[in-house]
Amino acid sequence: GSGKTTLIDIITLTHQQQKGEIIIDGTLSSEINQSSWRKQIGYVSQDTIIFDDTIANNITMWKDNLNDKETYNKIRDAAKKANILNFIESLEEGFDTIVGDRGILLSGGQKQRIFIARELYRNPNILILDEATSALDSESEKKIQQSIETLKGTITVIIIAHRLSTIKKVDNIYLLDKGKIIENGSYNDLKNDNNSKFSKIAELQLL
């Protein structure tokens, strides 16, 4: 109930604000083509959607010719950025591996990283991770953290998280409470401020 979902809806221009202005790169949101803007955004939630098909088709969503070398390199690059390439290339069939109904042959972390690769394949300018690691074990979360670090400096990544370990290396943290930003700063600055609410949350999570 802090307003995270509403904030994402505003960023994606799904909802119009009731007052004030949203400005994106100096342009009012009311002057931005919504369809064009949303095509620049990749979105990954904790609810992964994986199809009973090859890994390649799960990444490209059947949009490109998989026999084309440029397409293959693009798939491979997306998988590398999502920190799933080594796993895929360790499989006998590689990108042609059938993953089963709802990705039953994959772990939760592997499915999530293929989901991230799918969004990165679209080459977005912004990637939103909405509680993307909340249902994963620590090892899977670590691999996704590594993929986030790989993306640093290439695209804007917005991470929504209750689990603070997910956001330890981000540039800026904004703590929401009842629809308002109550604190913001780097992880270390907020954690080391004994008067901050963030530091108390970190203490509860043994960080």
* pLDDT range class, residue 7, cuts 50, 70, 90: confident
CA dist 27 and 44 (Å) reads 26
Closest alpha carbon to 116 in 90, 136, 93, 94 = 136
At 60-79, the pLDDT tens digits run 999 877 788 889 999 999 99
Region 18-45: mean pLDDT is: 90
Whole-number pLDDT of residue 117? 94
What's the confidence (pLDDT) of residue 207?
63
pLDDT per residue as tens digits for the range 83-134: 999 999 999 999 999 999 989 999 988 999 999 999 999 999 999 998 888 7
- Other residues' Cβ atoms within 10 Å of the Cβ of residue 19: 4
Query: Quick check: 54 pLDDT over 90?
Result: yes
Q: Given this model, what pLDDT does residue 64 score?
A: 77
Using CB atoms within 10 A of its CB, is residue 137 exposed (0-12), middle (13-18) or buried (19+)?
exposed
Residue 1: its pLDDT value, please? 64
| Proportion of the chain above pLDDT 90, given as a percent | 55
What does DSSP assign to residue 188?
H
Give SS3 for 174: strand
Instruction: Give the DSSP letter of residue 170.
Output: -
pTM: 0.87
- Alpha-carbon distance 167 to 80, whole Å? 21
β-strand partners of 175: 183
